[in-house]
Structures are given as C-alpha cells and as structure tokens.
C-alpha cells in the first residue's frame, strides 16, 4: 500500500498504484493502515503530486556508504554524522530543482528516505521498527562548494527545491534489502543497497532518537552511495528505490523572482 499527497493543498490518497488510489479519510498516523477509511477514487495521473510527507524536521545522514565517503576524500565517521535540512526545501515528484545563483556546483545525492510514524524518544530497536511508517525516494540536493566552504551543512543543503521527495510512501518497514539507483538524463550514476550501509534504517532511527525526539511525519535521509556529481540546467534526475517507485525531477537555473 502506498500513501500519496496531491494538489496544492497536499490532500491524502492511498492505494496500490496511482491509477488505483482513493482519497484517504483517516488520519494516517493515528489509525493503522489496515483500518484506513478510503473515499472516492482519484486519478493521480491528472494532478501534480506533492511531497508525500510534511516533516517538522529533515534529518540527514552523511557518509553511510564507505565508497561515497572515500570519493569525497572523507574518512568514515565513528558514529553516524547528522545534519538538518530545512523542510522548506521539499518539492514533489515532477517539480523543478532550481540551481541558485549563490552556488557554482550543485550535486545530486539519490537516497532512501524513511518516514517516522510515531513519537520516538530514546527508542529501543523494537520501538524504532514499529515507528517506521514507510519509505520513499529522495534526492538530497547539495551545493557542494558551499558545503565545503562552511563549518556546517545548513546552507549547502537547504536551498528551496533541494529536497525532491516521492512519488509516494510505501508503508511499513521493508521486508528485505532495498536498492537505490540514481539516473541523470537516463544514464545510471549511482547504485547502492541497504546491505552496503554502515548503519541500517532502524539503527539510524534508534541513534537519532537519542539526540532529538522524532515525531510523526519527520523524515530521515539515510545517506547516498558513491557516484555523486554535478547538475546542470535542463538535466532530469531520477531516483529509483526498488519496489517503492521512481522520483523524477527536472533541473532549471534560477531566473529571478
């Protein structure tokens, strides 16, 4: 089952595919999916999709794949490296990533995103697994030059449009390893699997919940595999998470306003 948000208001719908979606009448975080009340069918091929989560915070993980740490000349950290990305950077499937004039090198980072389903504070592994609402595709777009220049990642990670998310949330914890593939203009640039991660999805929720309480809707970007590279005006990025979906976004240069 997938959870979608659509239209300017970010209305909720659920179903096995965009063509088979129906309006969701229940609160997705207080009612378990098997008891969701569904209304009329809605044709999601005809309306723009919104980011499927509305997080209070986006927690990013740096260097969760050894090969990616090495390609940027960084050592593997002894524990997960956390950063925060502004929720205002979110865009949905199909919306444009805008290259800001303040950066000369904006890069894609295809990632598996975890959506939190319940309050997690110093969670046990069991609590974290139960609190994993679902997974979706994300691109952790990064102004690499500004990230390198600054002592924190805040600026380089948080420009408007720097967090494409979607197209939908696949509900529940994954039942096996997940793959993530990034393509630019149809050409494969990155390929990774949860099997290659230094810290797994549930382990990351446990870890992050020690520092900050995670709330329903919060988003965890779980790190990018090797193969990051620059984006240019006119590019099209695709991030595919196996069994979850394909997130596609065009790239445009900033044209003022």
Give the binding site for Mg ion (CB under 5 A): 109, 140, 224
Minimum CB distance to Mg ion smaller for 81 or for 96? 81
Minimum distance from residue 199 beta carbon to Mg ion (Å): 13
Cβ proximity to Mg ion, 140 vs 240, nearer residue:
140
Least distance to Mg ion from the beta carbon of 232, Å? 20
> Minimum Å distance from CB 180 to Mg ion?
11
The answer to whether the CB of 214 falls within 8 A of the CB of 85 is: no
Residue 28 Cα distances to 14, 171, 216, angstroms: 10, 10, 10
Q: How far is the CB of 111 from Mg ion (least distance, A)?
A: 6
State residue 20 phi and psi, 5-degree precision: -110, 25
Smallest gap, in angstroms, from Cβ of residue 110 to Mg ion?
9
Residues 6 or more apart from 189 whose CB is under 8 A from it? 108, 110, 182, 183, 227, 228, 229
Q: Considering the complex, what minimum distance in angstroms separates the CB of residue 49 from Mg ion?
A: 22
Give the residue with the Cβ less far from Mg ion, 24 or 241: 241
- 65, 71, 74, 79: CA torsion to nearest 10: 0
Closest CA to 193 of 112, 132, 133: 112
Pairing mode, if any, of strands 236-241 and 81-85? unpaired
> Closer to Mg ion at the Cβ: 140 or 218?
140
- Chain position whose Cβ is nearest to Mg ion: 140
Identify which of residues 27 and 67 has a Cβ nearer to Mg ion in the complex. 67
Cα angle 18, 116, 58 (rounded to 5 degrees) comes to 95
Alpha carbon 228 to its chain's center: 16
Residue 18 or 80: which CB sits closer to Mg ion? 80
Among residues 236, 137, 226, 132, which one has the least CA distance to residue 180? 137
């Amino acid at each position: 089952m997938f959870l979608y948000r659509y239209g300017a208001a970010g209305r909720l719908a659920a179903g096995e595919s965009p063509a088979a979606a129906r309006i969701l009448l229940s609160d997705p975080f207080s009612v378990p999916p098997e008891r969701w009340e569904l209304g009329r069918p809605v044709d999601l091929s005809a309306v723009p999709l919104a980011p499927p989560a509305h997080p209070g915070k986006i927690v990013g993980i740096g260097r969760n794949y050894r090969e990616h740490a090495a390609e940027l000349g960084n050592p593997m950290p002894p524990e997960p490296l956390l950063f925060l990305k502004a929720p205002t950077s979110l865009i949905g499937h199909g919306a444009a990533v805008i290259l800001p004039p303040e950066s000369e090198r904006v890069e894609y980072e295809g990632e598996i995103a975890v959506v939190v389903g319940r309050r997690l504070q110093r969670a046990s592994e069991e609590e974290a697994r139960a609190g994993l609402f679902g997974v979706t595709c994300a691109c952790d777009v990064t102004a690499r030059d500004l990230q390198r220049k600054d002592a924190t990642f805040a600026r380089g990670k948080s420009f408007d449009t720097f967090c494409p998310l979607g197209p939908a949330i696949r509900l529940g914890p994954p039942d096996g390893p997940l793959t993530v593939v990034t393509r630019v203009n149809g050409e494969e640039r990155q390929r990774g699997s949860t099997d290659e991660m230094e810290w797994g999805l549930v382990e990351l929720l446990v870890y992050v919940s020690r520092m900050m309480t995670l709330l329903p809707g919060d988003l965890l970007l779980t790190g990018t595999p090797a193969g990051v590279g620059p984006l240019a005006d006119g590019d099209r990025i695709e991030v595919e998470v196996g069994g979850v979906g394909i997130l596609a976004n065009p790239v445009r240069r900033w044209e003022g306003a």
